Amino acid sequence: TPSPASASIALDIIGTVESCYPDKFGIPRQPGLAPQATARLRLDAPFGHRDCVRGLEHFSHLWITFIFHQSPERWTPLIRPPRLGGNHRIGVFASRSTHRPNRLGLSLVELAGIEYDPAPVLILRGHDLVDGTPVVDIKPYLPWADSADNARAGFAPEPPPRLDVRMSNECRQALEARHDGESLGALIREVLSQDPRPAYRRNRRDDRSYGVRLHDLDVRFHIETDTRGSGDRCESIV
């Protein structure tokens, strides 16, 4: 019997994500934070068979188990969660960090539909996955088993705070000219309100210009700090 340190197991990739997020930068740090985010999960042979998803259309939400394929294989026992400003360390297993043994990720997403091409393609919403993410399992979400009343959530007891987002006239006009402008505008607002900047850049003067890619768009933004009132308030501007 191999010792636990040398035991390993091979996983099959059952499908690949085609995502509205071409890059890691800007993706919300958990699913559900940008409900307008869309993805197509294309199942590959031999898992890309209708039988494998028979009955799945009756579920509204899914657990997606995937590989953080864009993270390094190297991991460390302690990590610095962005939520704690990047200054405090906690155990990797007390975190949802992408830098973890086996690089396995777990996301609860909405199932918006199933298409057949002819292999099944699952239409996902509200996800937090970069384009090309390999998926190793799918399970239906069972609200009575998968949610806990009175759960404690450690250093992340509530959703991250949101910034106000203001759009430039140029951005508004560009969106109005597109057939998908309304949903795209909503996605831009949801993503930017999460403040995509690295943790160490927050809560300090920041004159930089940043870019987030969403679908085929390169969305530029900067932070405006409003010092009126009791404290600083930041606004992201497209």
Nearer to ligand SAM, 14 or 175 (CB): 14
Using the rule CB under 6 A, is 68 a contact of ligand SAM? yes
- φ and ψ at 197, to 5 degrees? -60, 155
186 close to 171: Cβ distance less than 8 angstroms: no
Phi, psi of 93 (to 5 degrees): -85, 0
37 binds ligand SAM, rule: CB under 6 A: no
On whether the CB atoms of residues 189 and 165 are closer than 8 A, the answer is: yes
**Cβ-based nearer residue to ligand SAM, 22 or 120:** 22
Task: Return the range that interacts with ligand SAM (CB under 6 A); candidates 128-136, 184-192, 202-210, 221-229.
Answer: 128-136
Nearer to ligand SAM, 25 or 178 (CB): 25
Q: At what angle do helices 169-176 and 181-193 cross, to 10 degrees?
A: 140
**By CB under 6 A, what part of segment 133-192 binds ligand SAM?**
133
d(CA 36, CA 120): 22
Sites for ligand SAM among residues 72-111 (CB under 6 A) = 96, 98, 105-107
Q: Which among 22-30, 43-51, 152-160, 179-187 is the span making contact with ligand SAM, rule CB under 6 A?
A: 22-30
Binding of ligand SAM by 212 (CB under 6 A): no
DSSP secondary structure letter of residue 190: H
Rounded to whole angstroms, the Cα distance separating 40 from 196 reads 23
Residue ranges binding ligand SAM (CB under 6 A): 24, 27, 29-31, 68-71, 96, 98, 105-107, 128-130, 133
